[in-house]
Chain A
Amino acid sequence: MTEHEIQEQEEQGQPEPVVLSSRGRVGAVMVVGGGVSGVQASLDLAGMGYRVYLVEESAAVGGRMAQLDKTFPTNDCSMCILSPKLVECYRHPDIRILTNASVKAVEGEPGNFRVRVVKRPRYVDESKCVGCGTCARYCPVKIPDPFNQNLSTTKAIRVPFAQAVPLASVVEPEQCLFLLRQECKICYPVCKNRAINFKQTEEELEIAVGAVILSPGYRPFDPSSKSEYGYGRFPNVVTSLEFERISTASGPYQGEVVRPSDGRPPRRIAWIQCVGSRDVVSGNHYCSAVCCTYTAKQVIMTKEHHGEVEAAVFFNDVRAFGKGFDQYYERARHLPGVRYIWSTAAAVRELPQTRNVVLRYCRDGSEVVEEEFDLVVLSVGLTPSASVRSLAAAAGVRLNDYGFCEVQPFAPGETSRPGVYASGTFIQPMDIPESVATGSAAVSLCSQLLSEERGLLLKGDMEQVRERDVSGEALRVGVFVCRCGTNIGSVVNVPEVVQYSGGLDGVTYVEEGLYSCAVDSIKRLTEVAGEKGLNRVVVAACTPRTHEPLFRETLRQAGLNPYLLEMANIREQCSWVHPWDKEAATAKAKDLVRMAVAKSRLLEPLRSVIVPVEHSALVIGGGVSGMTCALSLAEQGYAVHLVEKSSSLGGLAKRLHTTLEGEDVHGFIEGLGKRVEGHSRIRVYTQAEVSETSGFVGNFSTKVSLAASSETREIRHGVVIIATGGEEVKHREYLYGDDARVMTLLEMEEKLAKGDGGPGWQSVVIIGCAGSREPDRPYCSRVCCGEMVKCALRIKGSRPESEVYVLHRDVRTYGFNELHYKRAAELGVHFIRFDLEDKPVVEVSGGALRVMVTDRVLGKRLEIPADVVGLATGVAPAPDGERLSKLFKVPLSEDGFFLEAHLKLRPVEFAAEGIFLCGVAHSPKFIGECISQAQAAAARAGTILSRDFIEAPGVVGVVDTDRCIGCGVCRTVCPFEAVVLNQTAEGLRAEVIPASCKGCGLCSARCPTRAITINCFSDEQVMSQVAALVAGS
């Protein structure tokens, strides 16, 4: 049976013939849940060579991220960074998306599961529908629009949202007049493509897969039951997700922040934190981990758009614990007109005239005040998605007390059923990068299980469309102007730009699109390019940074060389920066299009370079992250070189004895170390350091110096994973270093483990943020609050009569760590909050140690006699970070940790291809999180190692050896080690290695003889743009 026949059978709902490997496993994986985590998992799986079934309960993939406005802490437009991934998923020949579908049963065993999937009828033929929306325009039934959190209405038949994937209408059966009582059916005749099909019925599919990843996501907490906030009674009390829809350009108010009651812009906005989190009343004892930072984002974005808004955030502990989050929170806090108030507020009444809401709250311990707000936003927590119980039952996995997946601390991606893995907020509340990383991590686990089944069920490479030779053709430029919904269209006069473009030299075709990156537009571009015989394409839309690969691929599908594309960024550079001057923005858009068209006339087809891949990895750092990553890669079938600078494996975790949950860390590391050292595919080098490296993705060569033998080994490898960890800060404050009774938390943990914390420890004070979140070390180290609670629990656990005080600036026990904070409170540990401006004082009086701290509620100075003082001093980056950063040409953040390619969507890789990072080297984190990230890095690295060849992009430097004088400036300035100097008969001549080159242009700009040209950015091409600009319209 051919692949084509299999596909046909699948589409007819017939069972696919099961293809098993020689050991009886299936080279396919099912991903359940099409949010960002599931989408990332699908792409990674397909990238490794597995057949993927992506099962989504709703009518479109995208999940919650599709509903968000911007994302923290980078303020990227959520949909803009997500959409390319959705489209990529949709277009991938090895990913089959099943929407409106649920898993009914998972039978079988790891490696060979049979999954029964029920696909509910959409009543629209996905293959015929183009998502034009005509049906919705005619449909008479208005229903609340769930995509807009019911703030606006939609129709009973509709496209779920503008960038939906698949872009096809869906009928809401409970609302459709025809399905309910055989009336109406007006959508049927108005659909030109005859896509409406009311005869569709529910179908059941049986799909064979080797592994399953569950990523069903979350549901925002419904605050209707909380009388204290007035939600549901007062229209101007909204949830944070509703506020996302209110703020977003694609939302019901076109991005204008207005109130639901009267559509007026609010001047005073309050945010109330922890609604439905850390709350025994709703049963959600855990912290939802993301609300504090998304609130900071909403404050920042609101202030950015409406500077006059006064914002008040009512909090109890601000948990900005992630990478860059604390600085982000500080930024929000210090904006003019922003107040952070340490109190929860209750909505006591609505004012009848204005419908403003009066909040009552407490100012420290001294005052209770009432204050009027125009709008109140409830920062609602994350709860398991509605379908989680039935899914868990169907998949045979256990849930925890709160309905999240039951996982073990050292195996965060594994469910209670072998071969079934978990990712995203199914595991616990988490943000987008963690959802992405856990998605990739689950892929590693699949790839370990199915290491021999990669490539078994592939549909093959992307369908190869024959490339048209355009060399002899007359110039025919097509211009596609995007409205980006209202992002561009509400500012730039798009029809005017379209009309203008039509008159430009060489342009033979112009059209506008609502979203040029949406599936239907892409399809249309492909068709139009063929019909109109276009041989250059200009897309006037957004930034090439995110969308160029998509449009290049589209050209390829259209039979054009992908490099015949030019983009004009009329969103970031026009509508976004000049929202108040529509005419100027439109004029600028015309300029940019004119420049792009000018350049496009000079574009030439380019060929990419194919290079082979070395199937081995170099892992630097032998801590938990490095070992986990090495083991995962080895289990996936790749050779691994693990380099550790100290004499033994284990890293920072060697100094930990238990986790917050009480797990034995030493035992775990020992076991892990044994597995690593005993693995046939892993070679461990201890007392070893990387000294030199060269090469590029798939083909690195690195020298490792071995201290013991003074030898240097040269290792060839296809990828690098940096897992160099970090170390505990020794911060000299609070008498640390002067008095032996003052110690760091790790020192305290060591003493406790040895039993040194004996009867002498009657009164113990632990001080948080010692040296952290201060100007010299502005970041939050994430783990210390948990460590404080852990030590407190240990002391109280063994000596209940002792007094333990935790002095903190915020107790950041996010996620399920909150349960341990509560347990410590139950045991009588005193938690006292202090301000940076009024820090505790540790002093010695008559030989006795005592701590003075102001209790803000009592407004009094508390004197605490202390037998010992523990300091949460935070985690610093490993000392050789800078050296490695230079060696591998990868960046460090301001805080000295390694900086990934993209904080949201590329959390475990660098911009330089083939180089990855994980664990504390990325930023401080707990062991379980290190394990997740290490597995994620292994998966991302695996997408390269699984290939035999990689294709280098065409936009690279090219050296004209006749002009080159071999001065070597290019090699010095290249940040990617992409230039080599070769000895030739004429002397030294530069050469650019395409696989390493990023096309940044530094070499070209610095070359004294202009010998280096960057493809697509030749002097001639760039000058043509300048000329077009100055020539004017």
Chain B
Amino acid sequence: METISVFREGIEALGEAGGWDVRLCYQCSLCTASCPWNSVRTFMLRRMLRESQFGLVDLGSEDWWLCMTCGQCTVRCPRGVPIIDVMKAVRRLLVGSGTAPARLHSAMTSLSSLGNPWLQEREKRTDWAGGLGVKRFTSGMELLYFSCCTAAYDPRAMGIARATVRVLQKAGVDFGILGSAEVCCGESARKAGNESLFRSLAQTNIESFGRNGVTRVLTSSPHCYYSFRNEYPQLGAAFEVVHFTQYLWGLVSQGRLKFSRGTKLRVAYHDPCYLGRHSGVYDEPRRVLGSIPGVELVELPDSRETALCCGGGGGRIWMETKVGERFSDIRLEQTRSVGAELLVTACPYCLLNLDASVAAGAEGRGGVGVKDISELVAEAV
């Protein structure tokens, strides 16, 4: 049996990177039992936390990059160990030691030079809005619409931004966009261990929002929403943030938005982790879907508090996931199992992953479509 010793410097380094609280872990392993990875492969979270407690992090292990920060373990941890923070701390050490995966590295480079992770030019950030007559945000407008880099650049996710705009226009909402004056929110960069990059992105946005007189931001991505709401205030931000699903329910319930068409459709809703578990928004998207004529809403086996992650959080959206280990595949199978024709979500990452699973067209997933909630709503108004 291998003999080891506790590595004090390791404990301290991890602690300074934000992982002090791993010491609270009492090794009950509920995290490991709860982690979705263990439904597709072995992921020894218990062991990783134990290594961290002794300062013996295996820097060569790829496992540290698997965590999607879906939060299922963290909300259950009986000792209150902020497991995502521990992951983040280990990743900071790994990033610092230059051992981050190559795919992640290119996203980070893109973020720091272009302000988006998708190697796209800053100037093209508003290309998605072509022909929609979207105004540039000016002080005094009710809302800044913050589309998220993915919805701005990705050809598929662009549909979210376009649909959102159409819905807002239909309801007569006074809003604008900032285009190249905004950059990525930085949430996923931070989770991927790049703290300084996050801070610089956040500073850029905070300054830009301030300069432009932004007081209320509408986001399409739950990740932007989470970061604006929970992380930006610590860096001095003082604007209000609302997720599109919340705003949408406001419009519907106030009668500002009326649905006209109604085709019969069995719809399942996929809770994005950062909207549901991390932010507690479960009901608004369901209420909106439920109020669309013809839509029959059904629940997936793992929904709401126990929702299965699409696999895209924590920087995973920039990394490759092996076939056979993709949660988005499972999600589509679950959709089919409850007899739904359409799987609706409310997050650009979820949309990309789920859509990729549809495109891969593996057996057993036929006949299920995937849409963002904004797209379905835009079609129905």
Contact = CB atoms under 8 A, between A and B. Distances in A.
Interface string A726-758: 000000000000000000000000000000000
A860 B1 contact: yes
A901 interface: no
A368 B32 contact: yes
A1032 B23 CA distance: 73
Interface in A849-899: 852, 854-855, 857-865
A281 B75 contact: yes
A861 B3 contact: yes
A366 interface: yes
B306 A227 contact: yes
Contacts of B76: 226-228, 281, 346
B2 A228 contact: no
Interface stretch (B33-41, B87-95, B176-184): B33-41
Contact of B24 (A316, A345, A360, A826): A826
Interface stretch (B77-85, B102-110, B312-320): B77-85
Contact of A855 (B23, B29, B50): B50
Interface string A822-859: 10011010110100000000000000000010110111
A281 B50 contact: no
Interface string A243-287: 000000000000000000000000000000010001111000000
Interface string A19-57: 000000000000000000000000000000000000000
Among B27, B79, B305, chain A packs the most CB atoms within 10 A around the CB of: B27
Given A274-B78, A825-B26, A864 B6 contact: yes
B188 to A, nearest CB: 25
B53 interface: yes
A361 B3 contact: no
Contacts of B51: 858
Given A343-B33, A365-B50, A860-B2, A316 B23 contact: no
A361 B33 contact: yes
A343 B28 contact: yes
Among B30, B34, B306, chain A packs the most CB atoms within 10 A around the CB of: B30
B79 A833 contact: no
B306 A368 contact: no
Contacts of A366: 44, 47
A348 interface: yes
B77 A803 contact: no
A344 interface: yes
Nearest to A275: B78
Given A280-B79, A360-B33, A361-B29, A857 B46 contact: yes
Contact of A362 (B2, B5, B11, B32): B32
A219 interface: no
Contacts of A861: 1-4
A365 B79 CA distance: 19
A507 to B, nearest CB: 63
Contacts of B27: 316, 833, 857
A864 B3 CA distance: 10
A858 B2 CA distance: 10
Given A227-B305, A863-B4, A864-B5, A344 B30 contact: yes
Given A343-B29, A343-B33, A368-B33, A825 B23 contact: yes
B33 A831 contact: no
Given A279-B78, A281-B77, A368-B38, A344 B5 contact: no
A226 B75 CA distance: 10
Contacts of B256: none
B349 to A, nearest CB: 23
A831 B6 CA distance: 12
B33 A228 contact: yes
B43 interface: yes
Given A344-B33, A862-B5, A368 B24 contact: no
Interface string A208-239: 00000000000000000011100000000000
A999 to B, nearest CB: 53
Given A365-B44, A857-B46, A858-B47, A863 B26 contact: no
Nearest to B15: A828
Contacts of A226: 76
Contacts of B28: 274, 316, 343-344
Interface string A804-836: 000000010000000000100110101101000
A278 B26 CA distance: 10
Nearest to B76: A228
Interface string B66-80: 000000000111111
B38 A280 contact: no
B24 A822 contact: yes
B124 interface: no
Nearest to A825: B24
Interface in B339-362: none
Contact of A349 (B1, B53, B54, B301): B301
A826 B23 contact: yes
B156 interface: no
Contact of A858 (B50, B77, B80): B50
Nearest to A360: B33
Contacts of B79: 278, 280, 822, 825
Contacts of B47: 365-366, 857-858
B6 A316 contact: no
Contacts of A855: 50, 54
B230 interface: no
Contacts of B77: 280-281
A281 B32 CA distance: 17
Contacts of B80: 280-281
B42 interface: yes
Interface in A334-383: 343-346, 348-349, 359-362, 365-368
B3 A860 contact: yes
Contacts of A344: 28-30, 33
A45 B141 CA distance: 75
B30 A862 contact: no
A359 B26 CA distance: 20
Among B25, B32, B77, B78, chain A packs the most CB atoms within 10 A around the CB of: B78
Among A343, A348, A365, A831, chain B packs the most CB atoms within 10 A around the CB of: A365
Given A368-B33, A857-B46, A830 B78 contact: no
A512 B51 CA distance: 67
A1026 B1 CA distance: 69
Given A228-B33, A280-B78, A830-B6, A368 B42 contact: yes
Contacts of B24: 822, 825-826
Contact of B42 (A316, A367, A865): A367
B8 interface: yes
Contact of B4 (A359, A811, A828, A858): A858
B4 to A, nearest CB: 5
Given A858-B56, A859-B1, A864-B5, 11 more contacts: A343-B28, A343-B32, A343-B33, A344-B28, A349-B301, A828-B11, A852-B3, A855-B50, A857-B47, A858-B47, A863-B5
The 7 closest A-B pairs by CB, nearest first: A346-B33, A280-B80, A362-B29, A279-B78, A365-B47, A344-B30, A316-B28
Interface of A: 226-228, 274, 278-281, 316, 343-346, 348-349, 359-362, 365-368, 803, 811, 822, 825-826, 828, 830-831, 833, 852, 854-855, 857-865
Interface of B: 1-6, 8, 11, 23-30, 32-34, 38-39, 42-44, 46-47, 50-51, 53-54, 56, 75-80, 301, 305-306
